[in-house]
A = this chain, B = another copy of it.
């Protein structure tokens, strides 16, 4: 069958097609939102930090240098809602809450860590490229 005539679909990617594919390039696609959560300023660091195992709130706060209480709580909540982070609260006083990665969370965080590690390792190279760019600009 040849239902797809040349002049019927002028654009290569219809919106519907991109949504079905989960296309991050599509503005309306939910994958773009998830990608934003994962790659958010603090999301990245929290995901990597949790690879070290279960952490308490204050542990994370210490580990992720410079994060405020507010942002830590907020980012943990969105990561939990996306199913990447598991939150376990022990009903004791004073409160004791433990955060860890879910199986899916381990999968994303692995990729995030790959990226972060690469940047850390390549930092000298990158900084040098920057200076070269500066020189050219002058």
Contact = CB atoms under 8 A, between A and B. Distances in A.
Interface of A: 21-27, 30-31, 34-36, 38-41, 44-45, 48-49, 63-66, 80-83, 102, 104, 107-108, 111-112, 114-116, 118-127, 129-130, 132-133
A20 to B, nearest CB: 10
Given A25-B63, A108-B115, A30 B120 contact: no
B63 A133 contact: no
| Copies of this chain held together in the complex | 2
A81 to B, nearest CB: 5
Contacts of A49: 25
B111 A125 contact: no
A24 B41 CA distance: 11
